[in-house]
Amino acid sequence: MTETPVPSTATVASPAAMPAAGSLVRRLGLPAALVVMVAAFTVAEPRMLAGDNLLNVVVQASYLTLFALAQVVVLLTRGFDLSLGTAVSTVSVFAALLLTGSFGGAAGTLAGIVGGLALAAAIGAVNGAVVAWLRVSPFVATLGMLNVCLGLASLLSDGRPVAGLPDTFTTLFYAAAPLGIPAPVLVALGVAGLLYALLHHTVFGRSLYLVGGNPRAAEVAGVPVRAVLVGAYALCSLLAGIGALLLTARTGTGEPNLGGTLTLESIAAAVVGGASLRGGAGGVGAAVLGALFVTVLANGMNLTRVDGNVQAIVLGCVIVAAVVADRLRTGGGR
């Protein structure tokens, strides 16, 4: 910094000081922790590495991966989406209503999928518009949407699960396993691959990083910041909507309470994976690794019969530890 370092600019943490060793720790730290954790759980409970359990973990992780990917998209722009969980519930109920509605057959299935995803994108677009045009902070904007979706979900369903989904839907999104790979895993992998391409090979993806890196600079450089924000929130909700369809297929009903703790888990997974709340950092890898970590942790604690309440406590500690570690790596003594 040769910028005349007056007090106000002195707080700008410069990543310049980050040594190569730090970036190595960042790259290898989480996978190493994952391996250590798996080893520890295996010692305590050998079933950890059993084939069916591993498959179970991978399927579980693929749901969380989708939600963490969704969260990463908005985290990149210095935002977050608190409405993700209740949006999932709303999409689940809405899609289930269409699926069980008067269309019937393949048309009904198509209507459910398309309608659900369209609603998801619309919810996100509203979030984005409120953030970008009304300049409401992402916290308040998505908090408001959390309430709205909570109301919508129970209003649409009258508080009861919507049962009787067509088999084509549940097979397509849950039971199918082409090449022996379960459908949720395939979907998650496909979405992760597409998102990777989007983030690194398109102007929109680049714009997400630039807007998160420095929104004012992006605006000065002619990046359409508001449109990018709307797109980011819409994409976030769309990905969450895909996850909602998968979860709906798994439970076999449209659930008004499906979203539950998903918001917090998705933020936790993304942050544990290395996405920063300060924007501009993280990507597909962060979401996948973070989701895997959180899922393995939960699975291992289930296997070793750790009380569910203790699990909540452990998750809380892991979140704080992950953020502290991120701070120590990048922020240094500032």
Under rule CB under 8 A, which residues in 261-300 are in contact with other proteins? 264, 267-268, 271, 277-278, 280-281
What's the rounded Cα separation, in Å, for the pair 304 and 279?
Answer: 37
- CA atoms in the 13 A half-sphere facing the CB of 54: 7
In the complex, the smallest distance separating the C-beta of residue 27 from other proteins, rounded to whole angstroms, is 16
Decide: 246 and 66 in contact? Cβ < 8 Å. yes
For other proteins, which stretch binds (CB under 8 A), given 54-62, 108-116, 233-241, 310-318? 310-318
24 binds other proteins (CB under 8 A): no
Q: Which of 20, 102, 135, 179 binds other proteins (CB under 8 A)?
A: 135
DSSP characters over 240-288: HHHHHHHHHHHHSSB-TTSSTTHHHHHHHHHHHHT--TTSS---HHHHH
Q: Considering only CA atoms, which of 243, 211, 242, 224 is closest in space to residue 75?
A: 211
2 binds other proteins (CB under 8 A): yes
**Closest to other proteins by CB, 91 or 113:** 91
Reading the block at residue 277, the tokens are: 């709340």
**Closest to other proteins by CB, 176 or 264:** 264
Q: Which position has the token pair 């608190």?
A: 82
What's the rounded Cα separation, in Å, for the pair 322 and 316?
Answer: 10
**Closest to other proteins by CB, 4 or 102:** 4
108 binds other proteins (CB under 8 A): no
**Closest to other proteins by CB, 102 or 309:** 309
Per-residue string for binding with other proteins, 235-264, x by CB under 8 A? -----------------------------x
Under rule CB under 8 A, which residues in 157-176 are in contact with other proteins? 159
In the complex, the smallest distance separating the C-beta of residue 86 from other proteins, rounded to whole angstroms, is 9
In the complex, the smallest distance separating the C-beta of residue 157 from other proteins, rounded to whole angstroms, is 9
Mention every residue, 6+ apart, whose C-beta is less than 8 A from residue 142: 79, 80, 81, 82, 83, 84, 127
**Closest to other proteins by CB, 135 or 305:** 135
For other proteins, which stretch binds (CB under 8 A), given 45-53, 187-195, 209-217, 287-295? 209-217
In the complex, the smallest distance separating the C-beta of residue 64 from other proteins, rounded to whole angstroms, is 16
Reading the block at residue 164, the tokens are: 């009787």
Number of residues that bind other proteins (CB under 8 A): 86
- Is residue 19 classed as helix, strand or coil in its secondary structure? coil
In the complex, the smallest distance separating the C-beta of residue 282 from other proteins, rounded to whole angstroms, is 11
27 binds other proteins (CB under 8 A): no
- Give the number of other CB atoms < 10 A from CB of residue 302: 14
23 binds other proteins (CB under 8 A): no
What's the rounded Cα separation, in Å, for the pair 150 and 145?
Answer: 8
